[in-house]
Amino acid sequence: MSGVDARRIGLVWSGLLLLAVLLLPWFKGGGGSALTQALEGRVWLMPLVAIGGGLALLSAMARDWRIHPAGAVLVGAGLVWLILQGFAIGLRGPAIAGLETLLPASAAGQPGFGWGAWIAGIALIGALADLLAGRGFCRGERFAALSIVGIVAALSLFVFFPILRLVATAFVAADGTVSLAPFAARLTAPELWATRCLTGAGRCGVVINSVILGVLSATLATALGLALALLVARTDFRLKRLLRALSILPIITPPFVVGVAIIVLFGRTGIVTVELAELMGVRPTRWIYGLPGILMAQVLAFAPVTFLVILSALEAINPTLEEASTTLGARPVTTFRRVTWPLLRPALAAAFLLAFIESLSDFGNPIVLGGSYDVLSTRIFFAVVGAQYDLGHAATLSLILLALTVGAFWVQQRWVGRASYVTVTGKSDAGLTAAVPPLVKWAAIAAVVPFVVFTTGIYAIVLVGGFVGDIARMDLTPTVAHVWTAFSFEITDRGVQLFGSAWNSMITTLWVSALSAPLTMGIGILTAWLITRQDFTGKRLFEFGTLLSFAVPGTVVGVSYIAAFNVPPIDITGTLWILVICFVFRNMAVGMRAGVAALAQIDRSMEEASQTMGAGGGRVMVDVVLPLIKPAIFTALVYAFVTAMTAVSAVIFLVSARHNMATAYIMGRVENGEFALAIAYSTVLMLVMMACIGLMNLGIGRRKLGRRSALSKGKAT
């Protein structure tokens, strides 16, 4: 980059910083800029004004401000002071010991950051990225440096900082003092670790309950997913299309729906329960509430997901290995046991881990079907929103939940080991896929057929229940009263007037999903490009940071955001933006992984050709990379959108009366026993999601390689 370009870009960042400190409101609620606030008594803001002026002067006078020693000093001092003046002052004044002598009494009650502080932070981060690029970071590629520094800053603020704040909150006593004693008392409470249920002497603690549920749910869901995958990939089973269709339904199903449908079928006055009582004289009980009901709902919800994981691995196995085993005289059972099964170990471990973590963080099914069976997710919820607000107790439980998920990752790595499972190479493949042994086939059918029947019954309840009088009492009179209660409207002279009770939550959900999905996809794909196409110091640590937010259970994310963003300087709890931010950094890892997989199939020479012609990193990204990875873009966009529409474990802590979400509304209806209204809303939500996914497919289009599309338009000659 020439000295003129460096000076121009430096003036852009310094001008943005001066705009923030001289003109924009520094705090929420008005009060003037940083300069105005400093002149009125908040003198600790004056250094930022001086730093902005100094950076502008240096950019204008120096040949290349990025390599000038004063440039690093000014940018570093600006970032440090911005963070210090924001986080050192609490609601009651200086929060760090010793600052009382430096900050006046007017520091008490400082509000949260306003537009001025946020723009100043962006300007300083941009200047830092430019400075690093000028000193050789990312080989001087400014776009890559800016992307890396920006993503690291965002991860630090919205992933690492909330987790650290959560850890600190766990050591806070009821009177607000910091001590190890309250954490130790909460951690060793008998109600957490009791094992009486294992000996039949009583109930187990909440941690033991969660682990038992997680292991059982993950084991059954993985086994059922394996059976589904074997039938689809290695047999002539006639219902393959139906099995693939069933794998999509849980992705677009709101979390409470399955639990409600199970109650309608097997509750004390459920359809199946009443029929059994009349035909066989079985006395109705509440057996569905507790471990059996939660386990049934979780296996039903997680088995299709484990099926997709195992199916992808099963279809990727090179068939020549199994054919070679058969050629050497091995029986089908021996081939399956010695060849196929070992190659499925990574997929089985990944499926089990996914189901285990989802079970631990699942909130919808335990809150509906839990009864007296306590698990960590519901206990954390009631610690925050219950009669006794105890954020310290919720933080301790969240750390236990986080430790369990991290432990599951470690166990998975130990079980899979460092062995190689590569079977697809550059050599030609002419092998035939081996069918599973008859014994395995019939065992899989025996497991899958009841699952198909049960799932069909559940979704029949979902599709019908919202449009009949009362399906729980077999009142099948067609009606749209439930939908009209939720989404009634009236067309008047003033336009369309919305009166339904669910409009607020639906509109908020659509806004949050529409805002978070493109951001999630964009950051995820950009991160994938940086990881696969750039070489820089700390690359592995950067990749780990992007995956951390996805590994953290949603319940922990929600509690950590309350601990971090419920007080100044970043007091965004109760706003629309905290919901958007939560989804963006919770799901960006999916977009990153989809992008990494897509970029691995694209030769770098295509991008290098553009760079040779003088295109910068940003131009190459837009004109070359993005058109070639449209499938990954579609995957990331759909996943982010659907997750934002149906998530509950994280956002249940972050919704407010003004910004309510669809899942929170459905939960309220379930708690009030309004099952028909909850089912009707869920059905509408699923239809809306399918329509939006169709529009995304049309908007993104398909990747077109070569000239096949052009040739198909012409006539054969």
Question: Dihedral of the CA atoms 554, 555, 556, 558 (nearest 10)?
Answer: 90
Residue 107 identity (one-letter amino acid) = A
Q: How far apart are CA 610 and CA 595, in angstroms?
A: 20
Instruction: Name which of 401, 388, 381, 406 is nearest 562 in CA terms.
Output: 381
- Give the dihedral sign, CA 228/230/232/238: negative
Residues 6 or more apart from 512 whose CB is under 8 A from it? 576, 579, 580, 583, 644, 659, 661
Q: What is the pLDDT of residue 710?
A: 41
Residues forming a β-bridge with 490: 497
Residues of the chain with pLDDT under 70: 1-4, 89-110, 316, 318-329, 386-388, 412-434, 597, 600-603, 605-611, 614-618, 700-717
Q: Is 31 left (phi over 0), alpha (psi -120 to 50) or beta?
A: left
H/E stretch holding 273 reads helix 271-280
Residue 344 identity (one-letter amino acid) = L
Kindly list the distances between the CA atom of residue 236 and the CA atoms of 148, 442, 452, in Å, as whole numbers in the listed order. Answer: 49, 12, 17
């873009």: which residue's tokens? 633
| CA-derived radius of gyration, the chain | 29
Say what the pTM is.
0.82
Q: What is the pLDDT of residue 406?
A: 79
Q: How far apart are CA 235 and CA 459, in angstroms?
A: 26
If one counts every other C-beta atom within 10 angstroms of the C-beta of residue 44, the result is: 23
């941009």: which residue's tokens? 126
